[in-house]
Amino acid sequence: MQADIDRILITRQQIAERVRELALRITADHSPPILDAGEITIVPILTGAVIFTADLIRHMPLAMKIGLITVSSYPGAAVQSKGAQLLGRQLGDIRGRHVLVVDDILDSGGTLRMVVPLLQQYGPAGVKTCVLLRKDRPAARDVPVDYVGFDIPDQFVVGYGLDYDDYYRNLPEIVTLRPSAMGKSP
Ligand code: IMP
Ligand code: MG
């Protein structure tokens, strides 16, 4: 695993600090009297957002529920989006609630462009979006997002929830992989 890492882009300390800052902002934006009606439902987009979400919500002292949605856009060893595909959902009742969609990374924007209208159909009080990473490419900048952790170069990254062929999600940093690691399993 470690031998497959090319470069550490964002360290675990940088991630921890930024996640805490984001959580403070989200909490402020969802606290009375700013939003006095309607609790929040956090909706991580599985699988990539699980680690980010777990860290984020532990800095958010709000009454909240968690809904789940599973989207796949990079099946198997793909390193370019193949189009977002909805694989499952377990949202609970989000009618009248403030929904915060959490994703690991904004790349082509296909995932959020599919998920946000889908959630709107259930009559929530509002839908906001939060991504840990946003790639520096026009498609990503064209999608409005409420909370962004880091803007990064347009490179394929793994770690802290992000995968290559479902591996490397458990790395504590955001890293790039050596070319030799792509195309084989660790
Ligand atoms: P989008 O739909 O193209 O914006 O991409 C969003 C999804 O693609 C994310 O939730 C990730 O699961 C996946 N993804 C995009 N870029 C990367 C990357 O660099 N590494 C790993 N997964 C990525
Ligand atoms: Mg994902």
pLDDT tens per residue, range 112-167: 999 999 999 999 999 999 999 999 999 999 999 999 999 999 999 999 999 999 99
Contact 173, 6 (CB under 8 A): no
Q: Is 41 helix (H, G, I), strand (E, B) or coil?
A: strand
Write the CATH number for 82: 3.40.50.2020
Residues with CB under 6 A from ligand 1: 45, 48, 73-74, 81, 84, 103-111, 156-158, 162-163
| pLDDT for position 33 | 61
pLDDT tens per residue, range 68-98: 999 988 777 777 777 888 999 999 999 999 9
Q: What's the CA-to-centroid distance between 120 and ligand 2, angstroms?
A: 20
Expressed as residue numbers, the domain containing 106 is: 12-155
Residue 1 lies in a domain: no
Contact 154, 138 (CB under 8 A): no
Instruction: List the single range of 14-18, 27-31, 154-158 with lowest mean pLDDT.
Output: 27-31
Residue 68 lies in a domain: yes
Residue 169 lies in a domain: no
Instruction: Give me the number of domains the chain comprises.
Output: 1
Q: What's the CA-to-centroid distance between 45 and ligand 2, angstroms?
A: 6
Q: Please state the atom number of ligand 1 nearest to the C-alpha of residue 109.
A: 4
Residues 6+ apart with CB under 8 A from 54: none
Q: Within 13 A of 25's CA, how many CA atoms are on the CB side?
A: 14
Catalytic residues: 107
Residue 42 dihedral angles phi and psi, to the nearest 5°: -90, 130
Q: What's the CA-to-centroid distance between 108 and ligand 1, angstroms?
A: 8
